[in-house]
Amino acid sequence: MTARKANKESTRWHRGIAITEARLNGSGVAVIHVADRESDSYELMATCLAQRQRFIFRARTNRNALQDGATIPIRDLIAGTEVVLEREVPLSRRLGATAPASRRVHPPRDARTARLMFAPVKATFRRPNIAGTHLPATIDVNVLHVYEVDAPVGQEPVDWLLYTTEPVVTAEQIANVVDYYRCRWQIEELNKALKTGCVVQTRQLESLDALTTMLALSLPIAVELLALRALARAEPDRSAEALLSPPQLAALRHMSHRELPDKPTAQDVLWCVAGLGGHIKNNGPAGWQVLQRGMEKYVQFAAGWCAREAADL
């Protein structure tokens, strides 16, 4: 394999897919590969289909499909397709990217509840001219159109296409595909917790052994950070005991300069941990770096606190 071919986007994507499949082989779990717009590749989809690898990929381009022997853009093919499922979904506020090109893809938006429609179709894609002739001339893929109706004036409506091997005939099947794809954000947030919060990429480690050791130490902290923030956002009034034991709460109450109520909630815990990391209220919600600094201080202090309490028993 030439260096150029090895570094192709689709080749890198499938290399990761192949490694994942190999590691999970025989584990008894079902593997569905979920990826964003960068995975919109005929070669990648054709390779996954040939190797019977399941996927849900988000479309980036208006790819050509076949209809009655003629070529037609996929968005024209799916236009007017029957809606099988409807959902109301909360959308978080997004500031938008700073670079002009990225800002067109990710424009700023206000928080809102979006009314989404889901319409499926089965598509046959023709091999693009730039794809190698070793690939099949056509591939069959299920397509799910996700679009928003009644979007507020001035706000870009949600409008996605998802390419998938999963069935999308019934409302239940479509809901499964949507929920599988939604897991992508949780995965990306964990990566942010590792990269931005635990600053794994900036530690300049020079050996694989040092890197894996750092990951082993950082991953539990990243998971705790993600669990704390996710619960505080989804269920802010949930009892803090869902996150911390009574001794851990006592440690947080003792060291935090922000007051912890007698019956603290998940949101209260997040607020106190963010304060330990130097969070300023006027700066808005706490970011990963602030949370990581606060969590690192808290974990060290709480370990000593709990050890002392255990010794006193």
**For the segment 37-89, what is each residue's pLDDT rounded down to a tens digit?**
888 999 999 999 999 999 999 999 999 999 988 999 999 999 889 999 999 98
The CATH architecture to which 3-195 belongs is Alpha-Beta Complex (3.90)
The first and second tokens of residue 244, run together, are 């911390």
Share of the chain above pLDDT 90, in %: 39
| pLDDT at residue 2 in the model | 45
- Please report which confidence band the pLDDT of residue 94 belongs to, taking 50, 70 and 90 as the band edges: confident
pTM (whole model) above 0.85? no
Task: Round to whole Å and give the CA distance between 214 and 158.
Answer: 38
Q: Which residue intervals of the chain are DSSP H helices?
A: 3-6, 9-24, 42-50, 74-78, 100-105, 171-192, 208-234, 246-255, 266-276, 288-312
Q: Taking residues 200-217, report their average pLDDT.
A: 78
pLDDT at 96 > cutoff 70: no
Residue 296 pLDDT class (50, 70, 90 cuts): confident
Across 155-169, 193-207, 245-259, least confident range: 193-207
Q: Mean pLDDT over residues 110-132, rounded?
A: 90
What's the rounded mean pLDDT across residues 277-288?
84
What pLDDT, on the 0 to 100 scale, is given for residue 28? 82
Are domains 3-195 and 198-312 of this chain identical in fold?
no
Cβ proximity of 169 and 193 under 8 Å = no
Please determine, for residue 92, whether its predicted confidence score (pLDDT) is greater than 90: no
Residue 128 has pLDDT above 60, yes or no: yes
3-state secondary structure of 33: strand
What CATH fold (topology level) applies to the domain 198-312?
Transferase Inhibitor Protein From Tn5; Chain A, domain2 (1.10.740)
pLDDT digits (tens, 9 = 90+) for 191-207: 877 777 677 667 777 78
Q: Which range, 5-9, 172-176, 294-298, is most confident? A: 172-176
- Domain spans, the chain: 3-195, 198-312
Sort strands 64-67 and 54-58 into parallel, antiparallel or unpaired: unpaired
Bin 130: left if φ > 0, else alpha if -120 < ψ < 50, else beta.
alpha
Q: Which of 6-20, 131-145, 245-259 has the lowest mean pLDDT?
A: 6-20
pLDDT band at 182 (very low <50, low <70, confident <90, very high): confident
